[in-house]
Structure 1
Amino acid sequence: MKKLFLPLCILLLMSGCKKSELEAVNSPAAKTVSEYKVAEDAYQVAPPKEMTEKLLPEVNKSPQSQIPSKKIDTITKKVIKNGNMRIQVGDIKKAQNQVGDIIKKNDAYIQNEQFQNTDTDDNLDLVIRVPHKNFDVLVNSFSDGVGSVLAKNISSDDVTEEYTDISIKLANKKIYLEKYRDMLKNASTTKDMIEIQETIRQLEDEIDVAEGRLRFIDDRVNYSTLNLSLYKEKVRSSSTSKVGFGSRFADSVTEGWNSFISFLLGIISFWPYLLIIPLIIFLWRKWKAGRTKNN
């Protein structure tokens, strides 16, 4: 009997422990703790999408106070094309008229014009601005029929990355500017007002610089630049020149006379030194006379 009683007690004790564990698991407190752990594991804080979310004050991070970011338009590819051409022509005036006709046909214009006439050649330098789509046609037109192309250099500069970077930073600066203007309205002390106003001034200056840079890039992209130089060499040799003997004789006489005048003017320029010669002679004679008297 004693042998059967001991196993029965152990069995009843194990059944009571399992029942208490089951009740503990199903209790409201256990359910609350389990739900809290699940919620804690599922909750994750998303990182800020914009740099502005990190830097703005905590009071401005509520959904009601958030200013939506300005949408940046899709930026197309930005390529700046420039070129340099040097063309040898037989007649500067005729070539200039041909260039003018080509410029008008391609809706271009002359930004700068400079002419030089030297003893050896004539040079007409033009800075031409042409719409981007007509640049290649303009260059090909100058290559055909105007003269002999001595040099040509065409370059393309892709500034899409720079333009995009400036545009994004500009949009962010405008958001900051609006935030600081709102902060200025709520500033409570004079010190805060002065600091906020200084920050606003700096942001406005940076925005002006960025907008100016974007306008400059747009201008260079929309209108390409071509530096065109028309060159006519003056040949004065007797075998190739059409200038006769009389003209060359007159030129020689003129050059000789100019050389003589230059020599004469050079001597005259030494007139202060000529005044020293009589003084030297006077001192030498006086010294010689005194030496003779002593003897």
Structure 2
Amino acid sequence: MKSIFAIIVLTFLLASCRQQSGGEASYALGEQYDEVMPISRADQLSPPPPPPPPVKELEVVKKKIIKDGRLGIEVKDLESTKARVDTLVKIYEGYYDNERYNNTDHESSYDLKIRIPASNFDRFISEVEKGKGEIKYKEIDARDVTDQFIDLETRLQNKKNYLARYNELLAQAKTVKEILEIQEETRGLEEEIESTTGRLKYLGDLVDYSTLNLTLSKRKDFKYNPTDRDNFGERLKQALSKGWFGFVDFILFVINLWPFWVIVTLFVYGLIRLGKRKAKK
């Protein structure tokens, strides 16, 4: 009887231990689940990563182009064509850098050197070509001086930086020798800066204003124009005068050769004496 009672008690104790362990395990799993779930939700609700920063576009360098042109037009009415060109030059904001008029027996012509803003250059040439006349020649050149322009600008900036540094050293100089040496360096830099600035300005002007050498010409009809000649009496006077002056010039030329005549005379005299001596022997 006692053994049966002991078995029952032992069974009851084992069952109680299993329930406690199972509860603790369930509690532990619940805590782990509660710890894991918030992290998972936080990951799901977190904002997306920011997009990569935009790539900066390379700075586009504006091309520096020098445009020049030569254009020759033969017209029938030279003056009216010139007046039309004058009007077009004003419309397209240009100016004459040089203007020359030629008048010969065969033709009359205008040689014009015109400076036109580069933005209006092509339109100006197109308008000139629309006028009445025959185009004899046309030549347009374009030169890219961008690299040269950038190189000059870079050198200019470097020289300005050096000059600023030398000015700082000049303010800190303590002896006359140091001041004189720094002033000598700054003087050379200032001259180089002035020269480079002038070169940049010159290039900029060539880029901003294009040049067109325009020739307007008009042929003339051939006309025989007899040359005026003097009458017989006047021509006779001129002939006598030229003859006399020619004779005088010849006499003076002979006189200028007097040393030669002296040498020839002595040489002939020597030959004569030598011949007489031989004859006596």
Instruction: Settle same-fold status: TM greater than 0.5.
Output: yes
Unpaired runs of 5+ residues, structure 2, are 1-58, 253-281
Provide runs of 4+ in structure 1 moved above 6 Å. 258-267
SS where residue 90 of structure 1 aligns?
coil
More off after superposition, 150-159 vs 181-190: 181-190
- Of 64, 74, 80, the residue aligned with 2:66 is 80
Q: What is the one-letter code of the residue matched to 1:191?
A: K
Shift of 1:225: 0.7
In the aligned structure 2, how far is the partner of 1:262 from the partner of 1:144?
A: 56
Query: What amino acid is the match of 1:257?
Result: R
In structure 2, the partner of 1:257 is 229
Q: How many residues align?
A: 194
SS at match of 1:212: helix
Match for 2:170 among 176, 179, 184? 184
Q: Secondary structure at the match of 2:229?
A: helix
Contact 1:127–1:228 (CA<8 Å) still a contact in 2? yes
Asked if 2 retains the 8 angstrom alpha-carbon contact of 1:75 and 1:164, the reply is no
2:248 aligns with 275
The answer on whether the counterparts of 1:81 and 1:154 sit within 8 Å (CA) in structure 2 is yes
Alignment partner of 1:121 out of 107, 113, 120: 107
Percent identity reads: 36
1:1-295 matched pairs, under 5 angstroms: 75-236=61-222, 248=224, 251-252=225-226, 255-257=227-229, 268=241, 271-275=244-248
Does the Cα contact within 8 Å between 1:89 and 1:146 map onto a contact in 2? yes
Return the TM-score normalized by structure 1. 0.59
Q: CA deviation at 1:264?
A: 7.8
- Distance in 2 between residues matched to 1:93 and 1:114, nearest whole Å: 13
Distance in 2 of aligned mates of 1:157 and 1:263: 65
* 1:189, distance to aligned residue in structure 2 (A): 2.6
Q: Which amino acid aligns with 1:195?
A: E
CA gap 1:276/1:145 in 2 versus in 1, 3 angstroms: closer
Q: Which of these two proteins has the greater Rg computed from alpha carbons?
A: 2
Shift, 1:259, TM fit: 11
Relative to 1, partners in 2 of residues 1:121 and 1:273: Cα closer, same or farther, differing over 3 Å?
Answer: same
Change (3 A) 1:277 1:185: closer
Give the CA deviation at 1:258: 7.4
| Root mean square deviation, CA, Å | 3.0
Shift of 1:188: 2.8
Q: Deviations over 1:251-295 (max 9, x none)?
A: 22xx1427998998688566532336899xxxxxxxxxxxxxxxx
Distance 1:175 1:150, change over 3 A: same
- 8 Å CA contact retained: 1:99, 1:146: no
TM-score scaled to structure 2, two decimals? 0.62
1:104-155 deviations in Å (ceiling 9; x for gaps): 2212221211001111111200111111111001111111224111011100
